Structure 1
Amino acid sequence: MGNVLFLAHRMPYPPNKGDKVRSYHLLRHLQQHHRVFLGTFIDTHDDDEHLPALKELCPDLHVERINPKVSKYLSLTGLIRREALTIAFYRNAGMRSWVQRTQAKHGFQASLVFTSAMAQYAEPLLAQTPMVVDFVDVDSVKWRDYAPAHRWPISWIYQREANQLFSAEKAIARLARRSFFVTPGESALFRSLAPEASESVETLSNGVDAEYFSSKPDRLNPFLEEEKAIVFVGAMDYWPNVDGVKWFASTVMPQVRARWPRACFHIVGRNPSKEVLALASDSVRISGTVPDVRPYLQFASAVVVPLRVARGVQNKILEAMAMAQPVITVPACAEAIGASEEQGVLEASTPPAFLASLNALLENTDAAMALGRAARAHVCRRFRWADHMKGLDAYFPHTTGARA
């Protein structure tokens, strides 16, 4: 079996949020044929309880703990170094030392870097170890998109981060044996912005565990009887999610309630920010962390993903579709999924458009259920993790003695 270094900026377990879902499946796929040495960070005490399970999953594990508040302060050194704050945020002497020691002791046949911030630990090994990078999205463009929605000086910081991170992304892609992005659109965007690195770019799509995310008759309904539950699921300390639910609650829900007095917008997800908590009312309910999101998806009258700033494939959409729910979302998210209205993805970008789609689903439950079945069929056919992960295999050497 080959020795592979896998570097992830956030602990890839449990697979309960976007980046962790993807990094978890990358780890599991690599372990089918290789001995994987995983270096990762913990940035919350909530992850402590999951360390034993991750250690059992990947015995060759090294974890460094970072304090987000301290790391944000230290990342300001990037202003002096003229580098991306994201790179400085994840700079860690302990991680660098572990990579060097492990390379000297075991040797790596290849490295997989999950997001650009972790490339700083694999780059010193390039003379001996080819590097594959999973950028997922063009993160520099994300920061560029954030800037206009914030006031100075935050807008200036975000625009600076966009410029500095893009310079880093280009440099990393030129060094990488392969650079992966989550959708053909993201791949095409990076090729257009960095044509000098375009030959290394490839698409590696997300997937969904359709067996786990499936409806079960014995689940308990978390909603009130006769309630029209409109559901959004996502991490509620993530700014695009916060921005999206604030917009939906303030601009769409008043019109929905005028037509459907028993409608209620349920915001389901961990760590709701103060801005999210302030939305709570008789028409908006904040669930916070729940042990299982599947009942909320299964019994929803409608699922919405009103992200005004979004990049790549949204796992929250794939999971809702796997639960046989049609999803109302913005055109950018629908395009990334590659599904039409007949396949269970309804596009909307304005309050009237969201209202029209919600009315259609709430008025005709039989038609909504048919769209839900089509949605599940689409993701089961197009978004199998095993199919997508095969795209990695050409860039990691297979040797004899594959790991069970």
Structure 2
Amino acid sequence: MGDILFLAHRIPYPPDRGDKIRGFNILKYLSRKKRVHLIAFADRSEDLKRKGGLAPFTGNRSIVWRSKPQLAAGVQSLLTHRPVSLTSFQNESLQQSVDNILARHAIDTIFVFSGQMAQYLPARPRQRVIMDFVDMDSAKFEAYAQSSKGLKSWMFAREARLLQQFERQVAARADASLFVSEAEAALFRKRTGAERVYAVENGIDTEFYDPAAQFKRIDSMGPLIVFTGQMDYRPNVEGVEWFVRTVWPHIRVSHPDVRFAIVGRNPTDAVKALGKEPGVVVTGEVADVRGWLAAASVAVAPLKIARGVQNKVLEAMAMARPVVATGDAAQGIDHGGTIRVGSSVGEMAEAIDELLSDPRKAAELGASARERMQQRYSWDARLAPLDELLGLTGRSAGRSTAAA
């Protein structure tokens, strides 16, 4: 039995943002089955200092610093007729690391985490290839194109078109293509005609995300609405902008003392500007998001563009917080009615107002949400389908449309 080579577009440690959380938990799960060699990019110096945290789960680790300027990647994309998503991650040093591992070790499975890394697969892989697309990135860029104008719209439409062609080609070569939700998997099958497409959902660590756990708490000083996320990520930025400009004024009419906290690292100038609005707080990076979630009267996910499963929603539910989310942010989560969903300004404002006005009802909804997470979303349960896809059960993965 051979080893696993795990390729990741971002070092999956520390698990402090959506993609790294999924990557880390998959890596950890796989390491209990076989020896795993990790090759990944790093784009934050802090992550390089803490990469030793992956030692218990990996054999060889090769972390390559990703520093290609976006402009250079864009020019390269135009010259080579390739998606910017690929040229941004094209790197000779990382390719050499892949070649060395494949030459020196008996690798029987290559696990590719995120589509950008599929360009490092051998032309004709002798190994089993598991391609975790997570989300359908081409559909995300298509949505960007539809919400943009002029040159930006053209650039995003080009990226969507080229990326979908690449996704189709990769899926044809992979033994299994994974997505974070059945909705994403179904969309991918419809758009590409691909087979061997499976849904492997995200989980949540309900012992860590537990309102009764030990963590630094904050004084909310009154009703508090909380949004968490990486605040230089376009869907998050547009989501909080939409919320503050449209929903927030309605809420403050009924609850003038309520505050809205935007919690997450690297807030853009546009996000920082929201902090000038009455009652809005922009925290920037925090050491532990649990303190803010525990203090929240309501957690919101007002995303207008969202793919797959939102970890921010799972985390708030596990922390027993009442959640109000748009339909896009709630898609892919089997919440069983334990969160409120409203995509229009009126629906979002009404749901939030109701929960702020009735703390007892809010607490009951939060408790139901946590119970749902405990029953449905443990990482071991969500990742168990990988055993069959990796050939560890003695059965073929077959052509099932979902492995969830």
State whether residues 109 and 396 of structure 1, in contact with CA within 8 Å, keep that contact through their aligned partners in structure 2.
Answer: no
User: Aligned pair 1:92/2:91, yes or no?
Assistant: yes
Bigger drift between 162-171 and 252-261 goes to 252-261
SS at match of 1:252: helix
CA displacement at 1:48 relative to structure 2? 2.3
Matches of 2:124 and 2:323, distance apart in 1: 44
Matches of 1:41 and 1:316, distance apart in 2: 24
Match of 1:110 in 2: 109
Pairing of 1:38-77 with structure 2 (within 5 A)? 38-68=38-68, 70-77=69-76
Match of 2:318 in 1: 322
- Deviation per CA, 1:327-383, whole angstroms, max 9, x where unpaired? 100112223112243x2x101112211111111111111111111111011111111
Match of 1:238 in 2: 233
- Deviation per CA, 1:89-113, whole angstroms, max 9, x where unpaired? 1111111111111111112111000
User: Aligned pair 1:308/2:304, yes or no?
Assistant: yes
State whether residues 220 and 296 of structure 2, in contact with CA within 8 Å, keep that contact through their aligned partners in structure 1.
Answer: no
State whether residues 2 and 398 of structure 1, in contact with CA within 8 Å, keep that contact through their aligned partners in structure 2.
Answer: no
One-letter amino acid of the counterpart of residue 121, structure 1: Y
Match of 1:13 in 2: 13
CA displacement at 1:56 relative to structure 2? 4.8
Matches of 2:269 and 2:250, distance apart in 1: 24
User: Aligned pair 1:36/2:32, yes or no?
Assistant: no
Matches of 1:136 and 1:219, distance apart in 2: 30
SS at match of 2:212: coil
State whether residues 329 and 349 of structure 1, in contact with CA within 8 Å, keep that contact through their aligned partners in structure 2.
Answer: yes
One-letter amino acid of the counterpart of residue 246, structure 2: T
State whether residues 111 and 131 of structure 1, in contact with CA within 8 Å, keep that contact through their aligned partners in structure 2.
Answer: yes
Match of 1:368 in 2: 362
SS at match of 1:76: helix
State whether residues 77 and 88 of structure 1, in contact with CA within 8 Å, keep that contact through their aligned partners in structure 2.
Answer: yes
Match of 1:141 in 2: 139
Cα distance change, pair 107–133 in 1 and its aligned pair in 2 (3 A): same
Matches of 1:130 and 1:58, distance apart in 2: 19
SS at match of 1:254: helix
User: Aligned pair 1:299/2:295, yes or no?
Assistant: yes
Matches of 1:272 and 1:183, distance apart in 2: 28
User: Aligned pair 1:247/2:242, yes or no?
Assistant: yes
- Deviation per CA, 1:242-265, whole angstroms, max 9, x where unpaired? 000011111111111111011111
One-letter amino acid of the counterpart of residue 180, structure 1: L
Match of 1:402 in 2: none
CA displacement at 1:125 relative to structure 2? 5.3
Matches of 1:219 and 1:171, distance apart in 2: 46
Pairing of 1:271-350 with structure 2 (within 5 A)? 271-281=266-276, 282-341=278-337, 343=338, 345-350=339-344
Matches of 1:340 and 1:395, distance apart in 2: 28
User: Aligned pair 1:263/2:262, yes or no?
Assistant: no
Matches of 1:72 and 1:34, distance apart in 2: 40
User: Aligned pair 1:158/2:152, yes or no?
Assistant: no
State whether residues 227 and 261 of structure 2, in contact with CA within 8 Å, keep that contact through their aligned partners in structure 1.
Answer: yes
Q: Normalized against structure 1, the TM-score is what?
A: 0.93
State whether residues 265 and 284 of structure 1, in contact with CA within 8 Å, keep that contact through their aligned partners in structure 2.
Answer: yes
Cα distance change, pair 223–351 in 1 and its aligned pair in 2 (3 A): farther
For the aligned residue pairs, the C-alpha RMSD in angstroms reads 1.6
Matches of 2:379 and 2:350, distance apart in 1: 34
Cα distance change, pair 129–262 in 1 and its aligned pair in 2 (3 A): same
CA displacement at 1:304 relative to structure 2? 0.5
State whether residues 223 and 229 of structure 1, in contact with CA within 8 Å, keep that contact through their aligned partners in structure 2.
Answer: no
SS at match of 2:41: strand
- Deviation per CA, 1:109-148, whole angstroms, max 9, x where unpaired? 110001111111123351x212110011111000000113
Matches of 1:299 and 1:10, distance apart in 2: 31
Q: Which has the higher helix share?
A: 1
Matches of 1:108 and 1:219, distance apart in 2: 41
CA displacement at 1:203 relative to structure 2? 0.7
Matches of 1:35 and 1:124, distance apart in 2: 24
One-letter amino acid of the counterpart of residue 361, structure 2: A
Aligned-pair identity in percent equals 36
SS at match of 1:113: strand
State whether residues 331 and 348 of structure 1, in contact with CA within 8 Å, keep that contact through their aligned partners in structure 2.
Answer: yes
- Structure 1 unpaired stretches of 5+: 400-404
Match of 2:82 in 1: 83
Matches of 2:106 and 2:91, distance apart in 1: 21
State whether residues 326 and 372 of structure 1, in contact with CA within 8 Å, keep that contact through their aligned partners in structure 2.
Answer: yes
One-letter amino acid of the counterpart of residue 382, structure 2: H
Bigger drift between 100-109 and 289-298 goes to 100-109
State whether residues 260 and 279 of structure 2, in contact with CA within 8 Å, keep that contact through their aligned partners in structure 1.
Answer: yes
Bigger drift between 45-54 and 80-89 goes to 45-54
Match of 1:211 in 2: 207
State whether residues 2 and 397 of structure 1, in contact with CA within 8 Å, keep that contact through their aligned partners in structure 2.
Answer: no
One-letter amino acid of the counterpart of residue 192, structure 1: K
SS at match of 1:235: coil
SS at match of 2:121: helix
Cα distance change, pair 51–331 in 1 and its aligned pair in 2 (3 A): same
Matches of 1:224 and 1:181, distance apart in 2: 37
One-letter amino acid of the counterpart of residue 276, structure 1: V
Matches of 2:220 and 2:136, distance apart in 1: 41
Match of 1:173 in 2: 171
